[in-house]
Amino acid sequence: MKTKANEVSQSQRILKAAIKCIAKKGYANASLRDIADEAGVVLSQLNYYYNNKQGLFVEVVKRLSQQYLSEIENILQQGETKREKTAALTEYFQKILKDNPELFKLLFDLSSMALWSDPLRELIDNFFQEVAMLIEKYILQSKWQEDKRLKKYSRAVSRIMLGAMIGTSIQVVLAVDKEELMDSLNAIQVIFAK
């Protein structure tokens, strides 16, 4: 009956359904029943595979973290100059905001959920830390690396650059008139170019 080969494992279907539900209604309004229905699975399966709600959400964050991390690293490998890499990154954000705003809502929503749950906070903190390190590695690496004081500055700049992208994107997804605001992201390239 069950064709094990071409059938995605049940636990993965649940994970995907959870992501979809959270992206659609937010973590606060995504119930386990919603997720079970979306996955085409009976409620008790969620407990079977993930113990409880927090267990499921932790796996959601883990999966999304590694997915975006590798995606961002791919983006940052594009382009030769730092200027080109910065452009690639901002275009990546713009593309998401335009084509899959739910994905950004998801990041935003999960981050705010992490405010109230220590295990999740640790995961998201780590995620931001690693993204910032990627920016530092691909865009800001230079003679700075030598000087200890400038090294610290470079770390700060990577955090701010990431912060600018995230903070501006938040304004975009919340804006009624998104089109105009989306273009604002372009100015990041000007500001952070040296």
- Interacting residues toward a second copy by CB under 8 A: 25-29, 105, 108-109, 111-116, 121-122, 124-125, 128-129, 132, 153, 155-157, 159-160, 162-171, 173-176, 181, 183-188, 190-192
Q: How far is CA 166 from CA 11, 22, 128, 135, in A?
A: 31, 19, 10, 13
Q: How many residues bind DNA (CB under 7 A)?
A: 21
Binding part of the chain for DNA, among 49-57, 72-80, 87-95, 185-193 by CB under 7 A, reads 49-57
- 37 lies in the binding site for DNA (CB under 7 A): no
Which of 15, 21, 41, 58 lies at the binding interface for DNA (CB under 7 A)? 41
In angstroms, give the least distance from the CB of 15 to DNA: 13
DSSP string over 44-106: HHHHHHHSSHHHHHHHHHHHHHHHHHHHHHHHHHSSSSHHHHHHHHHHHHHHHHHH-HHHHHH
SS3 content of the chain, % helix, strand, coil (to 5): 80, 0, 20
Helices 82-99 and 53-77: crossing angle in degrees, nearest 10, is: 140
Choose which of 12, 24, 43, 77 interacts with DNA (CB under 7 A). Answer: 43
Instruction: Report the interface residues with DNA, using CB under 7 A.
Output: 1-2, 4, 10, 29, 31-34, 41-48, 51-54
